[in-house]
Amino acid sequence: MDDLIDAAARVRENAHAPYSGFRVGAAIRTAGGQVFTGCNVENVAYPEGSCAEAGAIAAMVAAGARDIAAVAVIADSPEPVPPCGGCRQKLAEFAGADVPVTLATTRGARRETSVGALLPGAFGAGHMDRE
């Protein structure tokens, strides 16, 4: 996971966070070993920004990949920062519950978790089945 944390830390430097100053980087590894990154992009109209995790997922999908095998998120915060609720659902769309997630701070603190632990009872494709 160190390589994913490093990739997330590098892309975090590109975050566009002029309003909050809170820069976040995310990196995901696919089942095929590809690494995709994303950073948060704020907008003066706050709800119109995008999260780092969403950016990494969009880059993955744009490249034709669909299966997340590992996730890393890093921010300059006192404690590791988990993905927001919307990004937890986005991660669950492309990752199984057991996919590892490493949350890190720029000061070196880490927390290991999983997609399932972040979003227990996730809404999934099976919920769309009709009788």
Q: Which domains does the chain have, with CATH numbers?
A: 2-118 (3.40.140.10)
H-run or E-run covering 99:
none
Q: Is 43 annotated as a binding residue?
A: yes
Q: Is 14 annotated as a binding residue?
A: no
Residue 33 reports pLDDT greater than 80 = yes
User: In the structure, what pLDDT confidence band is assigned to residue 124 with cuts at 50, 70 and 90?
Assistant: confident
Amino acid identity, position 13: E
Comparing CA positions, the residue from 84, 75, 72, 71 lying closest to residue 105 is 75
Find the catalytic residue in 48, 53, 112, 131.
Answer: 53
pLDDT in tens, 51-101: 999 999 999 999 999 999 999 999 999 999 999 999 999 999 999 999 999
Q: Is 46 annotated as a binding residue?
A: yes
**Catalytic annotation present for 79:** no
* Residue 76 to residue 38: CA distance in whole angstroms: 16
* Residue 61 to residue 58: CA distance in whole angstroms: 5
